[in-house]
């Protein structure tokens, strides 16, 4: 049987990492086995659902690279794929259950009549699970306002759409006996269930905004690459059985099995996500990196159209210098600024440590004259700076720290001499002279200075 799996989010919020991971597991299984991945929108909560949320879900899946074979904007043989457009189908299903004595009216609502006995199903992650039906109330399947409950609509949709596997979060295990009973009441074979571990924060509590959990598209705005987040999410609660971590989409598809899903909860570690993102940034081609960076540089006011033409080679050189240090695309934009714009402020601690001596201005003025005459390459600049330091009876570090503060305003940067070459002689000399004129700088401004 060709597998058919689905992701059925409710558009009462944007696509978050938990939902994205669920969609990803379903997608990986469908792709590995040549099956069908269905996207279905559970929008019967009319008060909380919105078109904006639907768009956010679709855009989030697209950004991650999760495509669907049937669903919104794609269509398919089982349309419509919005529950709000299937209300007549649910009401007909309820009427059928009532007519056969499987459901009954209670104060305007319709309840499913839970039979006596035990409901057992096999979970692909947890093994056999049994529930004593005595602990299941006769649950509502159609509200008094004519809208179906989640339990009814999800089962009717899974039957109509031929879903063979249901991969979803552990929090749905308690719902599953109700769903199994409904499948049986409709004369349908239940799908195979696989309940995956929930995603926890570092404190082992369920992931929430307090842990930094946010919509998938917010991770895009924070400077993460979709392939990095894809790889990271795939390994949250699933493993290859090896130490391999950096896996392409194709490798993940080839290796994914339900057997590899862990029964224990997965921990969302932002540091680990940053590591993944750094590894993927290192692997990007120059042109791909420029394409990813362009919107961040535009937002920072640093983009020039010449980066696609006359300044392209220069840009690639700068990015090669920054790439080993950046974990997110946003960090590139921050580190890129000194290459284009002179600093207007200087790190207070840096000024205190490296520019508070009475002769700092003289040293920087001498350095400006030195680099004006120096051949403009890394080796000569370093040689001439060290020679100048020796001539003035100071350590080379004094001039190195002063130069870094002058051209970047910061205490930390990529290799200084590589930076100087790429920033350019005129800009470097101007920045050195400007800082020398401002010394001594105040290192502890009074409160009145900020008023």
| Distance (Å, whole) CA 293 – CA 445 | 36
Q: Is 421 helix (H, G, I), strand (E, B) or coil?
A: helix
- Contact residues for 147 (Cβ-Cβ < 8 A; gap 6+): 44, 46, 87
Q: If you search the block for the tokens 């978050």, which residue do you land on? A: 16
Q: Looking at 209, 283, 353, 395, which residue is catalytic?
A: 209
Backbone angles phi, psi at 329, to 5 degrees: -65, -30
Q: Rg of the chain's alpha carbons, rounded to an integer?
A: 30
Q: Is position 209 annotated as part of the catalytic site?
A: yes
Instruction: List the Cα angle 443/446/451 in 5-degree steps.
Output: 125
Q: Which of 71, 361, 32 has its CA nearest to residue 165?
A: 32
Dihedral sign for Cα 226, 232, 236, 238, please: positive
| Distance (Å, whole) CA 438 – CA 348 | 14
List, as own/partner pairs, every contact residues 58-64 make where C-beta atoms lie below 8 angstroms and the sequence separation is at least 24, other chains included: 59/217, 60/14, 60/15, 60/20, 60/215, 60/216, 60/217, 61/7, 61/15, 61/20, 61/23, 61/216, 63/216, 63/217, 63/220, 63/226, 64/20, 64/24, 64/216, 64/226, 64/229, 64/230
What are the DSSP calls for 247-263, one per residue? --HHHHHHH--GGGB-S
Instruction: List the Cα angle 345/350/356 in 5-degree steps.
Output: 100
Q: Are 297 and 248 in contact (CB under 8 A)?
A: no
Longest dimension (CA), the chain: 101
Residues annotated as catalytic (active site), given as ranges: 209
């Amino acid at each position: 049987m060709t597998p058919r799996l689905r992701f059925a989010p409710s558009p009462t919020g944007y696509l978050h990492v938990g939902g994205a991971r669920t969609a990803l597991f379903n997608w990986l299984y469908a792709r590995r086995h040549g099956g069908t991945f269905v996207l279905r929108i559970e929008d019967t909560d009319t008060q909380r659902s919105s078109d904006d949320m639907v768009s956010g879900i679709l855009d989030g899946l697209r950004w991650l690279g999760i495509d669907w074979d049937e669903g919104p904007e794609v269509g398919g043989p089982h349309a419509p794929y919005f529950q709000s457009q299937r209300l007549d189908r649910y009401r007909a299903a309820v009427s059928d259950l009532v007519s056969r004595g499987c459901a009954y009216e209670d104060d305007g609502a319709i309840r499913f009549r839970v039979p006596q006995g035990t409901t057992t199903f096999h979970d692909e992650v947890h093994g056999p699970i049994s529930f004593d039906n005595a602990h299941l109330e006769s649950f509502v399947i159609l509200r008094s306002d004519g809208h179906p409950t989640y339990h009814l609509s999800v089962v009717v949709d899974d039957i109509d759409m031929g879903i063979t596997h249901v991969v979803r979060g552990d929090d749905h295990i308690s719902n599953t006996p109700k769903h199994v009973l409904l499948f049986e009441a409709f004369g349908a074979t239940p799908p195979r269930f696989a309940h995956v571990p929930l995603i926890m924060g570092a404190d082992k509590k369920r992931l929430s905004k307090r842990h930094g959990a946010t919509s998938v598209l917010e991770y895009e705005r924070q400077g993460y690459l979709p392939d990095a987040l894809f790889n990271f999410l795939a390994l949250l609660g699933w493993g290859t059985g090896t130490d391999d971590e950096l896996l392409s989409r194709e490798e993940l598809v080839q290796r994914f099995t339900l057997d590899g899903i862990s029964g224990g909860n997965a921990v969302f570690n932002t540091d680990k996500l940053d590591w993944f993102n750094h590894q993927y940034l290192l692997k990007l081609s120059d042109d791909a990196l420029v394409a990813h960076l362009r919107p961040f540089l535009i937002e920072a006011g640093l983009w020039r159209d010449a980066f696609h033409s006359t300044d392209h080679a220069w840009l690639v050189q700068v990015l090669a210098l920054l790439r080993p240090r950046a974990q997110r695309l946003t960090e590139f934009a921050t580190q890129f600024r000194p290459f284009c714009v002179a600093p207007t402020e200087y790190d207070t601690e840096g000024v205190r440590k490296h520019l508070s001596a009475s002769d700092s201005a003289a040293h920087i003025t001498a350095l400006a004259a030195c680099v004006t005459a120096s051949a403009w390459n890394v080796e000569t600049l370093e040689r001439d700076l060290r020679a100048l330091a020796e001539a003035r009876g100071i350590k080379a570090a004094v001039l190195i720290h002063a130069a870094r503060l002058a051209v970047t305003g910061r205490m930390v940067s990529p290799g200084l001499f590589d930076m100087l070459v790429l920033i350019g002689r005129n800009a470097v000399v101007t920045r050195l002279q400007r800082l020398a004129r401002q010394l001594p700088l105040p290192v502890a401004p009074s409160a009145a200075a900020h008023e």
